[in-house]
Amino acid sequence: MKDTIVQEVRDARAAVAADFDCDLGKFFAWAKAHTAAERKAKHPLATQPATPTKPARRKAAKAEVK
């Protein structure tokens, strides 16, 4: 009895291994570069905690009053 999901995972693993000539160093270098580019383009990392929204609203309200 073959599990189709297990076979699908094994096939995907074999395809990735073939793409990188079974070299983990090449794979991890690609993954690191890909992740860095994705974070830069789509998901910037937070460098400090998010600020509350209430002070921003107060500033906007003060600007409207003037």
| Contact call for residues 45 and 39 (beta carbons, < 8 A) | yes
Q: What are the residue ranges spanned by the domains of the chain?
A: 4-65
Say whether pLDDT at 39 is over 70.
Answer: yes
Say whether pLDDT at 11 is over 70.
Answer: yes
| Contact call for residues 27 and 20 (beta carbons, < 8 A) | yes
Q: Rounded distance, CA 8 to CA 16, Å?
A: 12
Identify the pLDDT of residue 37.
80
